[in-house]
Amino acid sequence: MSLPNLRGRVAWVFEEDDFDIDLIVGVRNIKITDLDELVKVAMADRAPGFAATVQRGDLLVGGRNFGYGHPHYPAMRAMRHLGIAGVVAESFSPGFFRGEISMGFPLVTCPGIVAAVQRGDALEVDWSAAQVRVPSRGRTLALQPLAAAERGTLEAGGLIPYLKARLARSQGASA
């Protein structure tokens, strides 16, 4: 199995380093669990009307150490509900990275991405070539490959299906 490439427009560029993703929905809203409610507050402070601009498959772009702080899950749940297919960032905060990969949500570490794109650009993440391409600007950047377990988790669609497959394999091997 191989990871499908991601193709989408840059829905937003979070240029700042150490971005606290809780700010996407607002800290006051992180206890909301209803997705339709979360989507209404997502990006409300930064970009009113953001939801209407997102097409299924669009991507977010972030700076260094994206997801720093005590990241909670609602921000990316809301983004997925809007159709966001992944985040391409200079680097990720480890806790955020682990948490979202376990949700089956692609995170792509790609140094140089913030300077290479603007909102609205089309992006292509090519896992097998370990590249992020920005065709409209003729740019190709290297992405940092995933560890096997991370890749397996994304391929399976999240931690639960990945663990099920892994346990089935090890039971098969020991039988």
Partner 1 sequence: MTEKILARASGRAWVRAGDEVEARPDFVISYDFPGYTDVFFREARDEFGVDKVAKPERFVLFIDHMVPAAAPKEEELHRNTRAWGAAQGVPVHERKGIGHQVSAELGYATPGAFLVHFDGHVSQLGAFGAYAFGARKGVLEAFVSETMALSVPPTVKIVLTGTLQPGVMARDVFHHLVRVLGPSSCAFKAVELSGPVIDAMSVEGRQTVCGQAMFLGATTMLIAPDAKTMAWLEGRRRLAIEPVFPDPDAVYERVVTIDLSDLEPIVVVPPSPANTQDLKDHLGLAVTTGYLGSCASGRLEDLRVAAEVLRGRQVKPGFQLHVVPTSQAIMAQAAREGLIETLVESGAFVSSPTCDYCYGRIATMADGDRAVSTGTLNTPGRMGSVDSEIYICNAAVVAASAIEGRIADPRPYLGGSA
Which residues contribute to the site for partner 1 (CB under 8 A)?
Answer: 17-18, 20, 22, 26-28, 30, 64-65, 68-70, 73, 91-95, 97-99, 102-103, 147-149, 159-160, 163-164, 166-167, 170
Nearest to partner 1 of 103, 130 (CB atom): 103
Nearest to partner 1 of 4, 95 (CB atom): 95
Q: Which residues pair with 136 in a beta bridge?
A: none
Least spacing, CB of residue 127 vs partner 1, in Å: 17
Nearest to partner 1 of 52, 175 (CB atom): 175
Least spacing, CB of residue 115 vs partner 1, in Å: 18
> CA 130, 131, 132, 133 torsion: positive or negative?
negative
**How far apart, in whole angstroms, are the C-alpha atoms of residue 119 and residue 9?**
8
Residue 49's Cβ-count burial label (10 Å; 0-12, 13-18, 19+) is exposed
The H or E element that residue 164 is part of is helix 159-174
